Amino acid sequence: MRPSLYRRAEIALTLLVLRLMRYPTLLLLLILMSGNVAGKEPITIYLAGDSTMAGKLPEKRPETGWGEALQKYFKEDEVRVENHAQNGRSTRTFIAEKCWRAIIDKLKKGDYVFIQFGHNDQSKEKVDRYTSADDFRRNLTNFIADVRAKHAIPLLLTPVMRRRFDKDGNFYDTHGEYPDIARAVAAENKVALIDMHRQSETVIKQYGVAGSKALFLQLAPAENPNYPNGIEDNTHFSPLGADTMARLVVAAIREQHLALAKHLKRGVPSPPLPNEGPSASITWKINSLEKIAGQPAVMIGNPQVINTAAGKAILFDGVDDGLILNTNPIAGAAAFTVEAVFRPDPGGTTEQRWFHIQEGTNDNRVLLEIRLTGDQWFLDTFIKSGENKLTLYSENFKHKAGEWYHVALVFDGATMRHFVDGKEELAGLLTIKPLGSSSTSIGVRMNRVFWFKGAIRKARFTTRALSPGEFMSKN
């Protein structure tokens, strides 16, 4: 009788094994390979941080840490997110309470640790968690070494912004030097960095003073049983805010081409942006050499604060005076209006750059300039985005130097226009991508040439195209 199909297969397999036994190394390799395929563990991303990242108890909902929103963007069979972030922890207390050791003890080769601190480290008034700048730097450096010692991969994140606006609607930061320390440690140790500090600032500004409340734990009395008296928390996130921050992380992983990017699900949407409107506007009073709109200013030369009939302004000498701010008030805006009130004085050089916004990693920029001829000037505006760029200037529109003017550069998503005292002078078509994180120089071009001679009193930035009737007043 002929053996059954099953029996024939069994005989064939037995013969194959007997042959392979002549080559034990090859047999062992096949066994190991089959075991790896069948039992390969997913990568684990461990989250180490504070309450902005941490998971929340039911009695604290709808408060949500952004770390809770991260898992859904990764393929579950390839990446597992394990959130070890804890409310109120600084790098110092995270170590002292053995939260860090709990991560290190579980790490395996190829895992990741996302490290985000700074909120509580910088809180001098809270002695139970405050960490000096030197210790913060040392702790981050040690975290990196610990992770690498386990053949895992560290990734640093700067702290997310708190929602802070002054009485004039100007956004300001409260983290001091700590975000810069995290950036420096990442650079010194060649570790990937996701700059949530700058990216969350951009999003909060885009939502504006009123709209940004939706990103945070803001509830009216009786709106939620967990908060019968309501709550106005400008540090911790709503579900929308947490998801928005998580999407910023995902976008950065993709943009930086990190190895984790291949484990992301397809079609992850960009962070949701608000409807553009008047709320997405910020006014800078150019009347201080230390801070402008809550942003620290780096002073070049010796600009002077002066009194004018309409308030204080800053005077630039046209030789070596300028200010630089580490911010971009129109970051992420597909359409925008940049306005300023200034006084170009006679006696300066022919070309003068007096407002310059430029991305930190490339040549994309927005410029407001003047060309001076004798005691007259005309406006020169410029936008560059990738290979696309446009300059607007003409000697047919001259104005007398030594007087105060309102100027505006308006981009509606397709057309660039500029105005002097509410009158349109020039326009042209242009295609651009929104600018990302950038710096702004005042009174000089970013590379410290083409110095401005004159005074600047205020500026306003709006994330939509304004009509002349909506421009701010000159006074």
200 part of the active site: no
Q: Determine whether 51 is an active site residue.
A: yes
Kindly tell me the burial class for residue 247, based on how many C-beta atoms sit within 10 Å of its own C-beta (0-12, 13-18, 19 or more).
Answer: buried
**Residue 58 and residue 240: Cα distance in Å, rounded?**
17
Q: Maximum distance among all alpha carbons in the chain?
A: 114
How far, in Å, CA of 137 to CA of 145, rounded?
13
Separation CA 234–CA 162 (nearest Å): 6
Q: Report the chain's terminal Cα–Cα distance, integer Å.
A: 108
Among residues 84, 119, 236, 356, which one is catalytic?
A: 236
Q: Please tell me which residue in 232, 255, 288, 394 is annotated as part of the active site.
A: 232
**Of 207, 182, 212, 214, residue with least CA distance to 197:** 182
Closest Cα to residue 147, out of 109, 183, 116?
109
Is position 288 annotated as part of the catalytic site?
no
Active-site annotation holder among 51, 212, 281, 385? 51
Token pair belonging to 473: 């007043």
DSSP-assigned states of every residue in 352-364? EEEEEEEESSSS-
Closest by CA to 119, choosing from 156, 155, 91, 99, is 91
The structure tokens 């941490």 sit at 54
Helices then strands (H, E): number in the chain?
8, 24
- Residue 390: phi and psi, rounded to 5, are -150, 135
Give CA–CA dist 197/240, Å, rounded.
Answer: 18
Do the Cβ atoms of 138 and 183 come closer than 8 Å? no
Tell the burial category of 333 from Cβ atoms under 10 Å away from its Cβ (0-12, 13-18, 19+). buried
| Helix, strand, coil content of the chain in percent (nearest 5) | 25, 30, 40
Q: How far is CA 14 from CA 8, 10, 21, 23, 30, in A?
A: 10, 6, 11, 15, 16
Q: What are phi and psi of 75, to 5 degrees?
A: -70, 120
Crossing angle of helices 24-39 and 5-20, in 10° steps, is: 120
The token duo for 54 is: 């941490």
Amino acid at position 179, single letter: P
d(CA 461, CA 178): 27
Give me 43's structure tokens.
Answer: 């990568």
Residue 245: helix, strand or coil by DSSP?
helix
Residues with catalytic roles: 51, 232, 236
